[in-house]
Amino acid sequence: MRSIWNGAISFGLVSIPIKLVNATESHSISFRQIHTEDGGRIRYRKVCELEDREVSSAEIGKGYEDADGTIIPITDEDLSHLPLPTAKTIEIVAFVPADRIDPLQMDAAYYLQAGGAPAAKPYTLLREALKRSHKVAIAKYALRGRERLGMLRVVGEAIAMHGLLWPDEVRAPEGVAPDTSVTVRDKELDLADALMDTLGEVDLEDLHDEYREAVEEVVAAKAAGETPPEAPSAPSSGKVLDLMAALEKSVRAAKQSRGEEPERAASGNKAEKTEEAGEAGEAADRESESESGAEVRHLSQRRSARAAPKGTGGKKSTSTATAKKTTAAPRKSTSRTARSTQPAKKATASKSTAATKSTAKKAAAKKTTTDKGTAAKGATKKSAAKKTTTPRKRTA
């Protein structure tokens, strides 16, 4: 790397010869001004306004413009007599913790390269001292005609220097913050924290200048005689009407960009499942109600069928009672099935089962009564037969 300044670091009574090299480089694309009609370059020439002629660099000097517009000439000889001890020296004045430096003061960055073999030992000493103390060095140096403030810190195995603005060069943030009183709710802070957690951290090596890459594509297409690619339309930034809604949408978008399932989508799935379960439960309830209604209708038919023989004299055959008993058994099984499959309709099923059991008991009781009546009629016939047989024996 090419050095832009040669000097020494003054560390107490220790002097460390160094070379100053740029630590950064610009990758921005620069354009030239051209004449739009014929593509000719636009050139700037240094012209003396009094003589109206172009002058060379050897004829150009420095001058300070006073408040009234008067130009005061300043020569290099005038500046060379200034008491500037940091003209060729980076003078360390203090060591402070790194967090004492306001990032607003940060300016250009440089690497300090050891100037030859004699500088190796003191250079390494300063580097290790900075590492062990976990501090940075504050120094003064002169560069490009002015004295500057710098901060020395360790980067890898090298010492870097950041140019710092003087404290009076940093403007106070007056009139920048909102003047109106604003109250931020805890829910909004929670959503902001959730958005910060979702965005997470990033490796700075993964970040790149997308605009520069797009410009390079346009230049390459024009050079090849092709149509430049169309840039994607920028998303419209509408007015924020609901801060909570904007934060929630930002959290969902950040999760989707990272391939995560948004919580709202998960909760929506749960809600859909809950609704489906509710609809299934309602359908099951309707089926249970229809089944219960069918059983009640069957019971009413059985009761009317049972009441009909009573109107004809109360006589009933054994086969009829047996058929009713057979019919009652499936009813009981059906009610048990409905009770096991529909827990929500236990009361209806229990009533139906009780009615069915009661019907079965009545049928059994009627069977018993019918059997007793039949037995009584048989006994009466036998008694009559005996009475008929006895007089015949007396006649003989």
- What's the maximum distance between 2 C-alpha atoms anywhere in the chain? 186
Determine the Cα–Cα distance for residues 87 and 85; give it in Å rounded to an integer.
6
Residue 395 has pLDDT above 60, yes or no: no
Phi, psi of 98 (to 5 degrees): -65, -30
The mean pLDDT of 225-229, rounded to a whole number, is 87
According to DSSP, the residues that pair with 62 across neighbouring strands are: 74
Least confident of 83-92, 151-160, 252-261, 271-280: 271-280
Mean per-residue pLDDT for 22-29?
A: 91
| Residue 341 reports pLDDT greater than 70 | no
For residues 317 and 306, the answer to whether their CB atoms sit within 8 Å is no
Q: Which is more confident, 317 or 251?
A: 251
**End-to-end Cα spacing for the chain:** 160
Helices (H), 201-262: 210-223, 243-257
Query: Can you give the pTM of this predicted structure?
Result: 0.56
Q: Determine the pLDDT at residue 236.
A: 61
Element (H, E) at 356: helix 346-395
CA 168 distance to own-chain centroid: 42
3-state secondary structure of 366: helix
Q: Which residue has the higher pLDDT, 360 or 86?
A: 86
Token pair listed for 376:
């009584």
- pLDDT at position 136, please? 96
Quote the CA–CA distance of 313 and 373 in Å, as a whole number. 13
Position with higher pLDDT, 297 vs 76: 76
* Cα of 142 vs its chain's centroid, Å: 49
Q: Which residues contact 113 (CB under 8 A, 6 or more apart)?
A: 1, 3, 18, 19, 20, 21, 158
What's the whole-number mean pLDDT along residues 285-294?
44
